[in-house]
Amino acid sequence: MEIIKNGDVNAAEEEAALKMLSEKHGGENIYKVELTPNGEYVDVKYYTRSPFERIRRITGYLVGTLDRFNNAKAAEERERVKHGIV
């Protein structure tokens, strides 16, 4: 995890911020933390990597995979005209 200190942030403030993030998010995919002093507080900005799933609209349904389609719907998807960029 990359930790960026934008100003005078001491070790105790850094430790408290990381503990708060761990309790709140369990460390879920956090890859960068920015700590910025703001008066008597420290602003914490963090960045996460979220899993990405492709969603397509096929025959009126939003789907991620085609494994639950019956034969007719699967055939509709196979027979679609696929347009390319010219």
Q: What is the pLDDT of residues 25-67, one digit of tens each?
A: 776 788 899 999 998 889 999 988 877 777 877 667 787 777 8
Identify the residue whose tokens are 């507080």: 41
Predicted confidence at residue 59, as pLDDT, reads 66
CA dihedral (36, 39, 42, 45) in degrees, to 10, reads: -50
User: Is residue 86 pLDDT above 70, yes or no?
Assistant: no
Q: Could you give the maximum distance between any two Cα atoms of the chain, in Å? A: 64
Predicted confidence at residue 54, as pLDDT, reads 76
pLDDT, averaged across the chain: 84
For the segment 57-81, the average pLDDT, to the nearest whole number, is 80
User: Is residue 5 pLDDT above 90, yes or no?
Assistant: yes
Predicted confidence at residue 43, as pLDDT, reads 92
Looking at the DSSP bridge assignments, the partners of residue 56 are 63
68 φ/ψ angles, rounded to the nearest 5 degrees: -100, 0
Cβ contacts of 30 within 8 Å, gap of 6 or more: 1, 21, 46, 47, 48
- Rounded CA-CA distance 17/15 in Å is 5
